[in-house]
Amino acid sequence: MDKQTDKSSNHFLGAGWGFPVTFIAGYNKLHITENEENINESIAIILQTRQGERFSDPFFGAGIQKFFFRKMDNTLKGEIRDTVAMSLMIYEPRIKVLEVKVDCMDEHNGIVQVAINYMYIRTNTRHNYVFPFHIKEGTSLVK
């Protein structure tokens, strides 16, 4: 299937500003994302946004930053899983979340990986999104 046919058949998936907002050099245009890329960027924005951060919608976002510096155990995994699933159900109506897996990848460095298995509602097409949930702190400090 060529790109033009693919774009016209998936137009319901949406299009919008790319994230982070960038411009196309030499054309004075915003970078616009479409279809699957637009949905993945939307998921990333929802997961990275703290509740209260958007003035126009103070409840927008998953607010998973509240889980930073917590003990990495099954309770934390369950809370992150439920928060991610609920936030995506509310703020990304183009998808149906099938499963959210939370894995503690590196307890010493506090790296948690969130894997989201979802389906586009209009086409029942399944996709995955992996979100690395951790803080990158200053690591070049002199001892």
Q: What is the pLDDT of residues 100-138, one digit of tens each?
A: 999 988 888 888 999 999 998 877 677 777 777 665 555
pLDDT reported for residue 49: 93
Q: Label residue 78 by pLDDT band (50, 70, 90).
A: very high
On whether residue 55 sits in a domain, the answer given is yes
**Has residue 27 got a pLDDT over 60?**
yes
On whether residue 23 sits in a domain, the answer given is yes
On whether residue 74 sits in a domain, the answer given is yes
On whether residue 93 sits in a domain, the answer given is yes
| Helices and strands counted in the chain (H then E) | 3, 7
**Has residue 82 got a pLDDT over 90?**
yes
Across the beta sheet with 95-106, the strand order is: 95-106, 111-120, 126-133
On whether residue 10 sits in a domain, the answer given is no
DSSP three-state, residue 138? coil
On whether residue 138 sits in a domain, the answer given is no
3 vs 80, residue with greater confidence = 80
Which letter, b or e, does each residue of 85-113 get, where b requires 16 or more Cβ atoms within 10 Å of its Cβ? bebbeebbeebebeebebeeeeeeebebe
Number of domains composing the chain: 1
The DSSP-derived string for 72-132 is -SHHHHHHHHHHHHHHHHHH-TTEEEEEEEEEEEETTTTEEEEEEEEEETTT--EEEEEEE
pLDDT reported for residue 124: 66
| Cβ–Cβ under 8 Å, residues 74 and 81 | no
On whether residue 139 sits in a domain, the answer given is no
**Has residue 17 got a pLDDT over 70?**
no
**Which of 4-13, 27-36, 78-87 shows the lowest per-residue confidence on average (mean pLDDT)?**
4-13
The CATH number for 115's domain is 3.10.450.40
On whether residue 13 sits in a domain, the answer given is no
**Has residue 69 got a pLDDT over 90?**
no
Pairing of strands 32-34, 126-133: unpaired
**Has residue 30 got a pLDDT over 90?**
no
| Domain residue limits at 63 | 19-133
